[in-house]
Chains A and B, each alone.
Chain A
Amino acid sequence: KNEVEQSPQNLTAQEGEFITINCSYSVGISALHWLQQHPGGGIVSLFMLSSGKKKHGRLIATINIQEKHSSLHITASHPRDSAVYICAVRANTGNQFYFGTGTSLTVIP
């Protein structure tokens, strides 16, 4: 049983396209994180959300607590956005982290 489900698993886009990655979770959470992992392993935290919407540059993250769903949007995608995007939640019972399997994004020039 996966507490966090992401879709799609793989995504190829043309430079400039609008991209959406979805995350659904089944546990009660205190926070949801969107992470970016480039080849080589380094992970960067993009967003931490407990409600509503956040925006950093071309990236937008939204969360709907009632529906247990979050989306990560990338506007005007660029080849440097090519990476694996991982959704993670911190459960409010037990305080553990659960991770999605990641979405591998490739942006073609």
Chain B
Amino acid sequence: KAGVTQTPRYLIKTRGQQVTLSCSPISGHRSVSWYQQTPGQGLQFLFEYFSETQRNKGNFPGRFSGRQFSNSRSEMNVSTLELGDSALYLCASSEGARSSYEQYFGPGTRLTVT
């Protein structure tokens, strides 16, 4: 099976712009989670989707949003970009939303905001 894929892998945006990142889970996986990783804050949970429904959300402002499609692919959107949004954005997929399912991580999208 192919692993989790994320596109694009690298992105440079200007402050104030918006960005959309994409995540394709492993075939058969119905749960997708998104994480932000920065040198200062480390890894932080953004949100989790299962069967097109957001199940959990981390402590991020409303500028961060996401969605999941019927084929389990997921997108996250950040509007009105700030310099502090520069980070590695990781998604992970699992078979289900229960804690007993292992997560498989994608390679990440490195976003730089200038």
A binding-site residues for B, Cβ under 8 Å: 30-31, 33, 35, 41-45, 48, 50, 86, 88, 90, 92, 94-102
Sort chain B's interface into a size bin. 20 to 34
In the assembled complex, B51 has its CB within 8 A of some CB on chain A? no
In the assembled complex, B8 has its CB within 8 A of some CB on chain A? no
From 60 to 114 in chain B, residues with beta carbon under 8 angstroms from any chain A beta carbon are 88, 90, 92, 99-100, 102-105, 107-108, 110
Which residue among B35, B43, B100 has the maximum number of chain A CB atoms within 10 Å of its CB? Answer: B43
In the assembled complex, the Cα of A90 lies from the Cα of B33 at a distance in Å of 12
B-side binding surface: helix, strand, loop or mixed?
strand
Contact of B99 among A31, A98, A99 (CB under 8 A): A31
23 A–B contacts from the bound complex (CB under 8 Å)? A33-B103, A41-B37, A42-B105, A43-B105, A44-B105, A45-B103, A45-B104, A48-B102, A50-B99, A50-B100, A88-B43, A90-B99, A95-B99, A96-B45, A97-B35, A97-B45, A99-B42, A99-B43, A99-B44, A99-B45, A100-B42, A101-B42, A102-B43
